[in-house]
Structure 1
Amino acid sequence: MSNISINSEKPRLSFWQIWNMSFGFMGIQFGFALQNANVSRIFETLGASKDNLPILWLAAPVTGLLVQPIIGYYSDRTWSNKWGRRRPFFAVGAILASIALFIMPNSPTLWIAAGMLWLMDASINISMEPFRAFVGDMLPNEQRTSGFAMQSFFIGIGAVVASLLPYLFTNVFGVSNTAPEGEIPDSVKWSFYVGGLAYVSAVMWTVFNTKEYPPEDIEALKKENSEKGIFGGLAESFLGIFKMPKTMVQLAFVQFFSWFSLFAMWIYTTSAVTEHVYGVTDPKSVLYNEGADWVGVCFAIYNGVAAIAAFLLPLLAKRIGRRWTHLFALACGGAGLISIFFISNPDMLAFSMIGIGIAWASILSIPYAMLSSALPSNKMGYYMGVFNFFIVIPQIVAAGILGFILKNFFWNDAIYAMIVGGISFLLAGLLSLFVNDKDEVSVAD
């Protein structure tokens, strides 16, 4: 494999080769899912008010805005005969994220927990962003939809297990689910410990079981790095937003409204479910912690659905095209979020999660499959990093305005964040129809 460059015609990889190169994403999702399902719970336990949650969550998108394009740029320009191009970033990010996962649930104060979110999210981005470019590096065009689908499958599996961990520790292993005021329950602590070990183990499986293709001209790569230097590289990374291909510009609008919805869900689902469905607001109460655990179960359900849908959506895309498939999936997500408003029985939330899972599977695969067909192979990581601006910018916008909207228009009731998110999903789906999908005819193997 080592004598083939990333700009040459790539051979088709076997199922197990795609499996190995994607397996690390399962570990990354342990960190991501534990963060999404439990950080608001940790913040509220440490004294955060509901309208301050979006500002505390601001760490996640800001670190993504800073880290992802830089990592994408430099992962394009890195090469080691032993470690390859992307794998050094996988490994470093995994080690740092695992450390943050061990520290986060032991945070004694709110500001330390917020700081750990910064570290955790930055580390996740270091290992996650090059994984997107990895598919473009390693697979021919006709296998990329399957490559991103395999990533989505492992994302789903990792998220299911990680989201269930607090519930399992409480109800299967008998670990305490409550704690004195200002302390995180042991069920959450042990979930983060397991997540840290799973993260680094899964990523290292990919690092040690995958070989990468070298760049076309290693000497030219070294010369470019030397001439531009670190500051020139940073400037080019952030100026890339003004050089995006047409398809990338069109997808940017789809991504904006999709990720606005997701961020609203991740911030406010715990508050919405405990308040609207369970009728409780005290983080120290048994009922609140039961509701928070059930949110983890709900997140496991939508991620489980996503793992299955990841393999079904390419089949649908082959029949009706990737744009219409993405519209269908996002409409399912919008209906799922809005339906939470009408639910009073916690068990019924499972049906809402089905729609959200279909949307999540599509968001993790179809936009990247469309984008990778429109990008030059030697700048895959760079443009994937720039593309992630339109994941983090909507999250920054959501963090800045959702608290204000809820407080001033919806009586500070978190359930309305679910409705706003649902409408945003529907808008993103409609915008996907305007994307110029270069390879829409050949969207599946």
Structure 2
Amino acid sequence: MLTIQKKLTNSFYALLSLPATAMGFALSVQIAALSWILSTQYHLDIHDVGLVWAAGPLAGIIGQVIIGVISDKVWFWNGRRRPFIIIGGILASMMLLALPNIGVIQASLGTGGILGIAIVVALTLDLAINVSFNPTRSIIADVTPEGKARTKGYTWMQTVSGSFGVMAYFIGAMLDNYILIYSGAVLVLLFSVIPPFFIKEPRELGQQDGENAVSTEKQPAGDPSEGSLLNMLRIIEPLWGFLLYAVYAMVIRLSGIPPIPYHIFEIFALLLTVILIGKTLIKKEAGNHEENGKTGFQKVLAAHSFTWIGVQTMFIYMYAYVKDTIPALDNDALGNVVNWSFFTINLIAAIIPVLILLPLAARFGRVKVHATGIALMAAGYLGIFLLGHTPAMIYVMMAVIGIGWAATISLPFAIMSQKVPQTRMGLYMGLFNLSVVLPQLVASLGVGELISNAADKSITFLICSVTVTFSSLAWFLVKEPADHATAGTPVGGSH
């Protein structure tokens, strides 16, 4: 074990962040370039772009849950998470190279439909990202103690990853999206293959290991039946409405079967979601690692899910919104506005986690800080809906949204990781990801159809604001992790 890992220094936290940074950079490249390429180079309609984006959440369902369960139990290449980080990184790098060459792939295969090739490439890229994303986040929980050190690990992850995300959008805006894609392929390969060999993973999860103890108390081993499909479905009960709608919508879109008239199924799924999430949020939490329904974890799922309807809606349909709101822009200028918008949101998200969110979380609690950040994100979305008629105003509102984005991709991991058994972190990290990918499917399919049919594309950000406002309110009903009794203790600096 390296000395920096034994002492949990800032340099170790930076090293620990690089694999997640690789996957975040790959995702940033996809966000910056995928809709742009499909719209300008291959001339796909908005609803077809949404269908391609739906491949990502499907990959998340398959990749993160399955890999999470497997990585909790296996050990090879001297690691539990290491093999999947390396394999996923190599595959993601290859798929980034394929992204601007969809037409070449289509021609070489002799097929007629560009949409099918785009879906396959996007699905494979997202599957690769998701194969690695779960292990890159789980490994942080594996090698850091619960409490302040773990919060620091995830905020450092966001700071490092966010900094490179800023660079991704800067390259896309100042140079070229194609340069971004090819440079991204190299960075993803290096950051996912090299750092894991310098991080020593514990052979047994939840064990004590000298200075670098990964737990402050003996962790429950976890029920072996937790990994069964039936039990996983029971755990994700707040997400059943999202799951049913996602299955229904994908079947309808891919099979050509006429949808149920009068949006009856959509209304049923919405009512089911409201009932189940409401039921979850009003439950009382008994404490950490509770076995009675995993209430704390389920509350996190319920609160986090609505954030991602708003976030995914922004990512997918930002291009359509700018094109409709500022019609004088040509394709290159449109791409630049979108890139500068995402540059702004990621710049804020790179700066504030360690400098601002970390000390605030130590003083007021992670849940309160996160819920407040999400409320500011909702205000930013509403600002774009009301005032976002110029690039400058869009950038200002994106800076406000960036506060919530910084919280979204850092604090929930620390909150969630202290409500589940350490020994099943991969499983629960995968199930936690369903609160991201199932709402993403709703945004890709249901919201996509709504926006496609709307005459005024500004409805995009009204949807974002409403869903994220609900998420903020839900987060205020989540119990603060027990270790916050030590609030006020500084969490910065080296150990």
TM-score interval (norm. to shorter): 0.7 to 0.9
Distance in 1, matches of 2:473 and 2:205, equals 40
Residue in 2 that maps onto 1:253: 302
Cα displacement string for residues 315-369 of structure 1 (whole angstroms, at most 9, x for unaligned residues): 1122222222112111111122222231232123221111121111111121111
Distance in 1, matches of 2:363 and 2:206, equals 40
Query: What amino acid does structure 2 have at the position aligned with 1:252?
Result: L
Q: How does 1:123-138 map to 2 (within 5 A)?
A: 123-138=128-143
Residue 52 of structure 2: which of 28, 49, 56 is its match?
A: 56
Report how far residue 424 of structure 1 moved.
1.1
Q: How does 1:35-114 map to 2 (within 5 A)?
A: 35-45=30-40, 46-80=42-76, 82-108=77-103, 109-114=114-119
CA change 1:216–1:388 in 2 (3 A) is closer
Distance in 2, matches of 1:407 and 1:379, equals 41
Residue in 2 that maps onto 1:295: 338
Residue 376 of structure 1: which of 411, 421, 431 is its match?
A: 421
Query: What amino acid does structure 1 have at the position aligned with 2:311?
Result: L
Residue in 1 that maps onto 2:219: none
Query: What amino acid does structure 2 have at the position aligned with 1:373?
Result: Q
Contact map agreement 1:278 1:288 (CA 8 A) in 2: no
Contact map agreement 1:73 1:237 (CA 8 A) in 2: no
Tell me, yes or no, if structure 1 residue 121 matches structure 2 residue 126.
Answer: yes
Residue in 2 that maps onto 1:208: 197
Residue 312 of structure 2: which of 256, 263, 269 is its match?
A: 263
Residue in 2 that maps onto 1:438: 481
Of 242-251 and 378-387, deviating more is: 242-251
Report how far residue 391 of structure 1 moved.
0.7
The DSSP-based 3-state class of the residue aligned with 1:214 is: coil
Query: What amino acid does structure 2 have at the position aligned with 1:207?
Result: P
Dislocated runs of 4+, deviation >4 Å: 232-240
Residue 349 of structure 1: which of 372, 390, 394 is its match?
A: 394
Cα displacement string for residues 40-78 of structure 1 (whole angstroms, at most 9, x for unaligned residues): 111212121123332221101111111111010011112
Aligned-pair identity in percent equals: 28
Unaligned stretches of 5+ residues in structure 2 = 104-113, 208-223, 238-290
Query: What amino acid does structure 2 have at the position aligned with 1:118?
Result: L
The DSSP-based 3-state class of the residue aligned with 1:435 is: coil
Residue 149 of structure 1: which of 151, 155, 161 is its match?
A: 155
Tell me, yes or no, if structure 1 residue 25 matches structure 2 residue 20.
Answer: yes
CA change 1:358–1:217 in 2 (3 A) is closer
Q: How does 1:262-281 map to 2 (within 5 A)?
A: 262-279=311-328
- Normalised by the length of structure 1, the TM-score is 0.84
The DSSP-based 3-state class of the residue aligned with 1:141 is: coil
Report how far residue 278 of structure 1 moved.
4.3
Contact map agreement 1:52 1:403 (CA 8 A) in 2: no
Report how far residue 442 of structure 1 moved.
3.9
Residue in 1 that maps onto 2:251: none
Residue 333 of structure 1: which of 365, 373, 377 is its match?
A: 377
Contact map agreement 2:28 2:165 (CA 8 A) in 1: yes
Q: How does 1:177-192 map to 2 (within 5 A)?
A: 187-192=176-181
Query: What amino acid does structure 2 have at the position aligned with 1:149?
Result: T
Query: What amino acid does structure 2 have at the position aligned with 1:88?
Result: P
Tell me, yes or no, if structure 1 residue 389 matches structure 2 residue 389.
Answer: no
Contact map agreement 2:303 2:471 (CA 8 A) in 1: yes
Unaligned stretches of 5+ residues in structure 1 = 3-9, 170-186, 219-227, 281-286
Report how far residue 216 of structure 1 moved.
6.0
Distance in 2, matches of 1:400 and 1:144, equals 36
The aligned length equals 401
Cα displacement string for residues 213-242 of structure 1 (whole angstroms, at most 9, x for unaligned residues): 111699xxxxxxxxx9xxx87777666536
Distance in 2, matches of 1:235 and 1:209, equals 38
CA change 1:77–1:393 in 2 (3 A) is same
Cα displacement string for residues 141-170 of structure 1 (whole angstroms, at most 9, x for unaligned residues): 13010000011112211211112222222x
Query: What amino acid does structure 2 have at the position aligned with 1:140?
Result: P
Residue 187 of structure 2: which of 187, 195, 198 is its match?
A: 198
CA change 1:104–1:247 in 2 (3 A) is same
Residue in 2 that maps onto 1:174: none
The DSSP-based 3-state class of the residue aligned with 2:414 is: helix
Q: CA RMSD in A?
A: 2.4
Residue in 2 that maps onto 1:304: 347
Contact map agreement 1:25 1:151 (CA 8 A) in 2: yes
Contact map agreement 1:240 1:383 (CA 8 A) in 2: no
